[in-house]
Amino acid sequence: MYRIRRFLFVLLLLLGWPSASLFPAQQAEREIKTVALTFEKLPAMRPLGFWTPREISNQILRVLTAEGIQAIGFVVQEKIDDDPGSLVVLDDWLKKGQLLGNNTYAYVDLNELSARDFLEHAADGQESIRKLSRPSRIPYRYFRFPMLHEGNTKSKKKDVFKALDRNGYQILSLIHISEPTRPLYISYA
């Protein structure tokens, strides 16, 4: 009788029965991860052939809309200050239901600046995003560290993360998975 029970137990284990009904609490505890499609250094994309930056952006937006994908475009405010006409690209993103995030004023490297100077760039980097987001009621709470540098000391990183959190930012990190033939970058929230 013991051998039959043991055989049935092993058979049920092999068939996956315990994972489906014996341990339902473990399945409920699994963490759900979110992947975010992101674009850096908006709005200033370089012309490509005979396409203008706005035409390139609109091609991207058409694909995102057609596929039902929501993305985040990270804005470098300095690019808008250099070419105020490029603000229309950001407006296009919001009108298509996409999100905007802060990539600092001048895409500065936290590893090269003090926490205080970096936070000034972060504050200055939200000017256009804030203006455009208000009427559309789309939040501009996302932040991406330029060059993915989150600080070269623990105290600097801690200070900057705390300040960004106090200002309501959600920091989007990045995972880099490298395959032999091509790298794959995945943003996650």
Lookup: tokens for 178:
């490298």
The per-residue b/e assignment along 36-69, b for 16 or more CB within 10 angstroms, e otherwise, is: bebbbbbbebeeeeeeebbebbbebbeebeeeee
Judge contact between 72 and 103, C-beta under 8 A. Answer: no
Report helix, strand or coil for 108.
Answer: coil
Kindly state the DSSP code that residue 183 receives in the 8-state scheme: E
167, pLDDT greater than 50: yes
- Please report the beta strands in the chain, taking only residues with DSSP state E, as ranges in sequence order: 35-42, 71-75, 99-102, 142-143, 170-171, 173-178, 183-188
- What is the 3-state composition of the chain as percent helix, strand, coil, each rounded to the nearest 5? 50, 20, 30
**Range with lowest mean pLDDT among 78-87, 128-137, 167-176:** 167-176
Residues in the chain: 189
Omega prior to 24 cis, within 30 of 0? no
The per-residue b/e assignment along 4-23, b for 16 or more CB within 10 angstroms, e otherwise, is: eeeeeeeeeeeeeeeeeeee
35, pLDDT greater than 70: no
27, pLDDT greater than 70: no
pLDDT of residue 23: 44
Range 6-27 average pLDDT? 42
pLDDT higher for 125 or 4?
125
Please state, in angstroms and rounded to a whole number, the distance separating the CA atoms of residues 15 and 13. 5
- Whether pTM > 0.75 for this model: the answer is no
> For 46-83, how does the pLDDT look when each residue is reduced to its tens digit (9 = 90+)?
677 788 888 989 999 999 999 888 899 999 999 999 98
Judge contact between 105 and 143, C-beta under 8 A. Answer: no
181, pLDDT greater than 80: no
Report helix, strand or coil for 136.
Answer: helix
